[in-house]
Amino acid sequence: MKYIILICAFFTQFYSEAQPIIASPADYSAKVANLMAGDTLILSPGIYTNQLKIYDLIGTEQAPIVIIGNVSATVFTGNACCNTVSIKKSAFVELHNLLIDGQNIPYIDAIKAEGTTGNWAHHITLDNMHIIGHGGDQQTVGISTKCPAWDWVIKHCYIDGAGTGMYLGNSDGSAPFVNGLIEYNLITNTVGYNTEIKHQNVGSRNIPGMTLNGKTIIRHNVWTKVENASSGANARPNLLVGHFPATGDGANDVYEIYGNLFWQNPVESLFQGTGNIAFYDNICINQSGGGGITFQNHNGFPPRNIHVFHNTIISNQSWGVRLSDTDPAYQKYIYGNAVFSDHSTPIRIVGSGITTAKLLENVVELTSNANAYIQQLSTMIETTDVFPIMNSPLKGSMIPSDPFLMFADHDQDFNGVTRDWSYRGAYHGEGNNPGWQVALEEKPVLDLPVATEDIISGTSFVLSPNPARQFVQIEWSDHSIPSSPLSVLLIDGLGRIVDVQMVQANQNRINLTDLPPGMYWVQIRTKETTFQSALIKL
């Protein structure tokens, strides 16, 4: 209720010439349909029971169409008639901060670029989507593309308990997902895949305007299948990536998969892929029965260029890394990994392509001995920390980096620290972990007040302009500017501190350049007290 009172009051006062459009559950459909390049639509708090149709909306790179909600108060509910967010022939559109509850209705997707004839969707951004209630069937998907889709960004999304978390590309290989960025997502307890990106047929990129060549980056995500996983013929990996076109446009594209956490799969591998793949700086832990990571023939297409380096892989009952029937005309590198497995062959290479596989400086050890190398291996993610212990045997001689220089952030570890290539596994360093100790729990939303005046009686400020694009000025309503330097915290809709700036009291300007569009809380702290107000970043 606090959020609703504050947001509704806040929407009535804007100081920017580029005033956003405000919509409610009663009128949003008509307003969405009329959006043009450069428009920003604010979805007021409420329950939205009909589709959100993103049809024929065309923004530009400089002036995208932006639709913003509040993830704790803007709720779209599933309807048996149709997919909840439906996308057709749209480009340069951004969706931020929506909660989508499918109410476990089978065969409706939360967000879908529809597979109707002639459809396409490119330069679509999905940011901070919370998707629940889509687990009625394995064919029910959180985020799906069935038409040609290119230059998508999917980030900061949370999908829990869906049939399939993300299913990108059409099942027959005719509608490729090209040149995407998938980062900072949390996908948990799906029935089938956490995420699958489908294979691509030769000639599938012959779409007017499509990005013909590129790469898809998959980084800093958490994929987990602790519960709900199908078994038998319906068993699925956490993440599967299919091949690019065998020849022509896209044949040399690559998946760069790095800095991810793969946590448990009782029935299948944590990861499976084919084609051209760079897999590095990931933490892969499977103590529940399934395998580690595998590269194998899929849909009749063998693995080609495979680069596997600096991963920490723990797989109790099965192999850690498996390469099977790879194309012998291409190189395979397995360098500097830390593999803990009770399997007789923790790193397993079988079939064709063996002669072109290069293995160098991998540490291979029994899972039962893992704690002699890392801080703590546990069946609980909250108490697992695979950072090397002091004087860890994971440190050794330097590993050549030349084969990997073309990959994004190739020289950074799981924490984003620059490494010297002398450590095996996902981390550089030893002793206390200075970065993220893997965990799945969400940070709690801050208990924010209804208005600034409730914090400091008689003293408040406004932010001008508001909404703002690059910079915003602090203007104190009673002209009593604090004398001390100001600590400014920018807090997103989930209560996460996303930026901290020090501002001199006589300057009062906040830099918003690096923030994505959305609603934020500006919290200003002095030595004496704390002030707070709301801000919309365009």
Over 70: is that where the pLDDT of 528 sits? no
Over 50: is that where the pLDDT of 87 sits? yes
Distance CA 215, CA 233 (A): 31
Name the nearest CA neighbour of 228 among 161, 315, 128, 298: 161
Residue 524 structure tokens: 């200003």
CA 281 to chain centre: 16
The most confident of 14-18, 49-53, 382-386, by mean pLDDT:
49-53
Residues 6+ apart with CB under 8 A from 168: 143, 144, 145, 149, 177, 180, 195, 196, 197, 198
Give the residue-averaged pLDDT of 527-538.
73
Sign of CA dihedral 33, 38, 39, 42: positive
Better-predicted residue by pLDDT, 520 or 425: 425
Over 60: is that where the pLDDT of 206 sits? yes
Over 90: is that where the pLDDT of 444 sits? no
Distance CA 35, CA 48 (A): 18
Strand pairing category for 518-525 and 486-491: antiparallel
Quick: pLDDT tens for 480-494: 566 666 678 888 766
Question: What's the pLDDT band for 273 if we cut at 50, 70, 90?
Answer: very high
> What is the pLDDT, as a whole number, of residue 358?
93
Better-predicted residue by pLDDT, 86 or 6: 86
> What is the pLDDT, as a whole number, of residue 377?
93
Better-predicted residue by pLDDT, 16 or 380: 380
Quick: pLDDT tens for 103-127: 999 999 999 999 999 999 999 999 9
Tally of CB atoms within 10 A around 32: 21
How large a percentage of the chain has pLDDT more than 70?
A: 88
Distance CA 210, CA 208 (A): 6
Over 50: is that where the pLDDT of 8 sits? no
Quick: pLDDT tens for 32-54: 999 999 999 999 888 999 999 99
Distance CA 67, CA 456 (A): 33
> What is the pLDDT, as a whole number, of residue 13?
34
Quick: pLDDT tens for 397-425: 999 999 999 999 999 999 989 998 999 99
Question: What's the pLDDT band for 16 if we cut at 50, 70, 90?
Answer: very low
Give the residue-averaged pLDDT of 509-531.
77
